[in-house]
């Protein structure tokens, strides 16, 4: 979901849960999360983000990251993924003896083994 403010796009996601109040938090690298009660209206949440847009953009900028740009992943050999703060390449291994796929971090790479 997103809102436009002074030519900038603020991307955010909404998490509905059993809560009484709305909470907005910015996670590194500039991802805005809006936590809201289950009955909260989506249009109201958009207006709330828009009314706080200047503060949100200032905080994102202060974190040293622009608004998060989500990139589509193809899950191909050598593609890089962020894992626990490290940028790791993906390695895909085929093992015909495996019944279920296995994912593990080995020697600074993410290894996916499948049958």
Contact 45, 38 (CB under 8 A): no
pTM reported for the whole predicted model: 0.54
What is the total residue count of the chain?
A: 115
Who has greater pLDDT, 69 or 10?
10
> pLDDT of 78-112, one tens digit each?
999 988 888 999 999 998 899 999 999 998 999 99
C-alpha–C-alpha distance, residues 1 and 32, integer Å:
10
- Asked if residue 68 has pLDDT above 60, the reply is no
Q: Is residue 57 helix, strand or coil? A: helix
Query: How far is CA 95 from its chain centroid?
Result: 31
C-alpha–C-alpha distance, residues 111 and 99, integer Å:
16
10 Å Cβ neighbour count for 34?
Answer: 20
Sign of CA dihedral 22, 23, 24, 28: negative
Q: ω before 9 within 30° of 0 (cis)? A: no
């Amino acid at each position: 979901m997103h809102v436009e403010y002074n030519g900038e796009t603020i991307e955010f996601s909404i998490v509905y849960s059993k809560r009484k109040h709305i909470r907005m938090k910015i996670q590194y690298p500039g991802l805005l999360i809006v936590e809201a009660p289950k009955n909260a209206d989506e249009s109201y949440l958009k207006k709330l983000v828009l009314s706080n847009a200047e503060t949100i953009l200032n905080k994102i900028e202060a974190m040293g990251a622009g608004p998060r740009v989500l990139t589509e992943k193809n899950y191909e050999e050598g593609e890089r993924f962020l894992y626990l703060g490290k940028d790791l390449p993906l390695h895909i291994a085929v093992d015909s003896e495996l019944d279920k796929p296995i994912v593990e971090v080995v020697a600074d790479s993410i290894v996916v083994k499948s049958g």
